[in-house]
Chain A
Amino acid sequence: MRRLSAKQLTWQIVLYALLIVLAVIYIYPFLIQVATSFKTDEDAATSGITLIPEVWTFAAYERLFRNSDFPSWFVNSAIVTIFVTLGRVFFNSLAGYALARLRFRGRGVVFAALIAVMSVPTVVLLIPKFLVINQLGIFNSYAGMILPLLVDAAGVFIMKNFFESIPESVEEQARIDGAGTFRIFWSVVLPMATPALVTIIILSFQGSWNELSHFIVSTNDPALTTLTKGVASLASGQLSQGTQYPLKLAAALIMTIPVAVMFFVFQRRIMNSTEGAVKE
């Protein structure tokens, strides 16, 4: 091993100390969250920072799963997330392929419109979306929750960029063999697009699982409450008395698990493919 001078060694120690302190600051809150979810209400209120509960209790989890609507919130979130993710994978890649490869009059206009759409901030759309959902008679329905999220302009953009990066020769061969446009897209091009599709899956899964505002404006039926909306109502104390932090933190923790699992499964991809995920 390379010998370090005293000065370099000091620098190394300072650097690692800094990195570790920062890592503790970023991770410790989540450890507190896990620990507190196993504490009693009184214990949680007085010993906010300690990681070992005085008395271990599963009371928070029991209440969540036995005496609350939490399971139904979870199911609703899962339904929406699955449909939105499938929809985005299919429709975004279909449109991305058309914009990258198919020549048709109006393609430039469609593309320009997409770019314009991407620049509209979502919170500005809260009232507008409610108006249309209400007008169409799909307020308080899965249709109203899912349809508006089913495609996203940024995803089309990512797919278009990817399709433009793969050589056209493969498709030409299939075309000469007499395959139709959809067949070429489905059996030749799409299988080659796995990396971009994974990006779309990650983004749509995270996006729809963590979505809150759209569900606030598209439903008010308790049976259609999603996790985000349900946990938010828990947090602002509408359903519970007192502070009940173990209960709230347990709910927030369970809500985080699916996206955390997703993150650790695709960690490599996420950490290395940011250029694909965030486009200017």
Chain B
Amino acid sequence: MAVKAAPRRGGASGLRRGEAAAGWLFTAPVIAILGVFLLIPVLMALWVSVSDWAGRGSPLSGSVSFVGADNFAAVLGDGGLATKDFGTALRNNTWYVLLVVPLQTALALFLAVLVNRAMLRGRGFFRTAYYFPSVTSTVAITVLWTFLFTASGAVNDVLSWFGINGPNWFNDPRGILHLALGTIGVDTGPASLTEGGALGVSWWEWLAGPSVAMSAYILMAVFTTSGTFMLIFLAGLQNLGADVDEAAMMDGANGWQRFWRITLPQLRPTLFTVLTLGLIGCWQVFDQIYTGTRGAPSKTTLTPAYLSYQTAFQNQEWGQGAAIAFILFVIIVVFTLLQRWVLRDRPVSKRRIRAYESPSKGASS
């Protein structure tokens, strides 16, 4: 329901006297807490990101001085260790996003379509089974995952049934694209890729793909989030009217065609929600890294979120840590806007409209 546009204001009517005061009183706790623990912190961190505060005393004290964009420059520009670490973290997380978002979305949609069938026995059981991993905490799942993916763990046991000698997952820093190239004999990149680079990381390293260790995290993310997104897709599917689908069935469209041409286009808003939530979540990888590998092996599971924490809390480089956090914030906002733009509602093109009109009409015109 939209906000009422009634002209009555608090105090104007006898019955509604004191409503304005009550309104502010009722919202006061929320405003106060979000203000103190969200708005003020962001402002303070903005200050820290342009200061030389080293973690001692208050960042607002007189001994802390303004250093301009130095912290941002150290992270983004000067090619030192801070830049290289940030570049590595960005590389790791980019691959994570590129793989997790499509995989979890596709799997969630697939599961939703499977369990949405009306004539399915054990529907409740299957839904519960697929959703359950989403309930558990990241910490608990990470503990389980590190056990399943040890060198002699359950996953490698299963792989050995198929004659595959599984890797030592969480200790293996090799990039999977480099591994794939290695199988066809390419072990070193061409000079054009190894010489140039960005953020202190060579192009060849950017293209390494996620490390084997990071791949285990990628599988974990798909495992734990597909259930949540399955529920969102289910809700979306259940809101669709059956009439369009039935009409298409009458016209002789098979199940495959109906899914791609009828169901999926109608699910666009749900798809948008899932992609946005997925994208935002995937740039915030922290809990699993903190619980599991802490960036190891060879920094291939370092993420910007964890790097920001490590830089500030462990290395006491608070300005740089805050700078990384703000850069991450910008990345998330840009990606969300970009995606909103890609998935925007486009006006239907003339060609499309013609295709929808009956063929006889189309031929005569």
- Whether A30 and B9, one on each chain, are in contact in the complex, defined by CB atoms closer than 8 angstroms, is no
- Whether B16 and A103, one on each chain, are in contact in the complex, defined by CB atoms closer than 8 angstroms, is yes
- Whether A256 and B136, one on each chain, are in contact in the complex, defined by CB atoms closer than 8 angstroms, is yes
- Whether A127 and B40, one on each chain, are in contact in the complex, defined by CB atoms closer than 8 angstroms, is no
- Whether A126 and B309, one on each chain, are in contact in the complex, defined by CB atoms closer than 8 angstroms, is yes
B132 / chain A contacts, CB cutoff of 8 Å: 26-27, 30, 260, 263
Given known A48-B150, A150-B33, A249-B147, contact A103–B325 (CB-CB < 8 A): no
Q: Min CB distance, B29 to chain A, in Å?
A: 5
Q: Does B273 contact A (CB under 8 A)?
A: yes
- Whether A104 and B23, one on each chain, are in contact in the complex, defined by CB atoms closer than 8 angstroms, is yes
- Whether B130 and A48, one on each chain, are in contact in the complex, defined by CB atoms closer than 8 angstroms, is no
B144 CB contact (under 8 Å) in A29, A114, A120: A29
Q: Does A232 contact B (CB under 8 A)?
A: yes
Stretch from B73-81, B257-265, B276-284 that touches the partner: B276-284
Report the separation of the CA atoms of residues A216 and B287 in the bound assembly, to the nearest whole angstrom. Answer: 10
Q: Min CB distance, B47 to chain A, in Å?
A: 9
- Whether B138 and A102, one on each chain, are in contact in the complex, defined by CB atoms closer than 8 angstroms, is no
- Whether B34 and A151, one on each chain, are in contact in the complex, defined by CB atoms closer than 8 angstroms, is yes
A253 / chain B contacts, CB cutoff of 8 Å: 140
**Minimal Cβ-Cβ distance residue in A for B3:** A108
Q: Does B128 contact A (CB under 8 A)?
A: yes
Report the separation of the CA atoms of residues A235 and B325 in the bound assembly, to the nearest whole angstrom. Answer: 26
How many of B's residues come within 8 Å of A, CB to CB? 106
Q: Does A6 contact B (CB under 8 A)?
A: no
**Minimal Cβ-Cβ distance residue in A for B292:** A235
B139 CB contact (under 8 Å) in A19, A23, A148, A252: A252
- Whether B139 and A231, one on each chain, are in contact in the complex, defined by CB atoms closer than 8 angstroms, is yes
Given known A26-B223, A102-B26, A103-B19, contact A121–B332 (CB-CB < 8 A): yes
Given known A22-B130, A236-B294, A245-B147, contact A263–B135 (CB-CB < 8 A): yes
A124 CB contact (under 8 Å) in B30, B115, B127, B328: B328
Given known A22-B111, A95-B29, A165-B1, contact A126–B290 (CB-CB < 8 A): no
A83 / chain B contacts, CB cutoff of 8 Å: none
Interface string of B92-110 (1 = CB under 8 A from A): 0000000000000000000
Interface string of B111-151 (1 = CB under 8 A from A): 10011000001101111111111011111111110111010
State the main secondary structure of chain A at its contact with B: helix
Report the separation of the CA atoms of residues A98 and B30 in the bound assembly, to the nearest whole angstrom. Answer: 11
B residues 1-35 touching A (CB-CB < 8 Å):
1, 3-4, 6, 8-10, 15-16, 18-24, 26-27, 29-31, 33-34
B291 / chain A contacts, CB cutoff of 8 Å: 212, 231-232, 235-236
**Minimal Cβ-Cβ distance residue in A for B158:** A49
Report the separation of the CA atoms of residues A164 and B143 in the bound assembly, to the nearest whole angstrom. Answer: 43
Interface string of A205-248 (1 = CB under 8 A from B): 01001101100110000000001100110111000000101001
- Whether A103 and B15, one on each chain, are in contact in the complex, defined by CB atoms closer than 8 angstroms, is no
- Whether A249 and B8, one on each chain, are in contact in the complex, defined by CB atoms closer than 8 angstroms, is no
- Whether B325 and A124, one on each chain, are in contact in the complex, defined by CB atoms closer than 8 angstroms, is yes
Q: Min CB distance, B1 to chain A, in Å?
A: 4
**Minimal Cβ-Cβ distance residue in A for B20:** A104
Q: Does A105 contact B (CB under 8 A)?
A: yes
- Whether A156 and B19, one on each chain, are in contact in the complex, defined by CB atoms closer than 8 angstroms, is no
Q: Does A190 contact B (CB under 8 A)?
A: no
Given known A110-B31, A120-B42, A126-B325, contact A228–B139 (CB-CB < 8 A): yes
- Whether A127 and B48, one on each chain, are in contact in the complex, defined by CB atoms closer than 8 angstroms, is yes
B309 / chain A contacts, CB cutoff of 8 Å: 126-127, 216
Select the residue from A91, A165, A175 with max chain B CB neighbours within 10 A: A91
- Whether B280 and A121, one on each chain, are in contact in the complex, defined by CB atoms closer than 8 angstroms, is yes
Q: Min CB distance, B326 to chain A, in Å?
A: 7
A residues 124-151 touching B (CB-CB < 8 Å):
124-136, 147-148, 150-151
**Minimal Cβ-Cβ distance residue in A for B122:** A19
Among all A-B residue pairs, the 3 with the closest Cβ atoms? A104-B23, A128-B41, A210-B137
- 19 contacting pairs across A/B (C-beta < 8 A): A16-B121, A26-B129, A27-B132, A44-B147, A91-B29, A98-B23, A104-B20, A104-B21, A113-B31, A124-B329, A128-B322, A150-B29, A213-B286, A216-B313, A228-B139, A232-B287, A235-B143, A249-B143, A280-B273
12 new A-B contacts at CB < 8 Å, known A22-B126, A45-B152, A124-B332:
A22-B130, A23-B126, A27-B129, A32-B144, A45-B150, A48-B156, A94-B26, A114-B34, A121-B329, A127-B325, A270-B131, A274-B235
Q: CB within 8 Å of A: which residues of B?
A: 1, 3-4, 6, 8-10, 15-16, 18-24, 26-27, 29-31, 33-34, 36-42, 44-45, 48, 58-60, 111, 114-115, 121-122, 124-133, 135-144, 146-148, 150, 152-154, 156-158, 223, 227-228, 231-232, 234-235, 269, 272-273, 276-277, 280, 283-284, 286-287, 290-292, 294, 305, 308-309, 312-313, 318, 321-322, 325-326, 328-329, 332-333
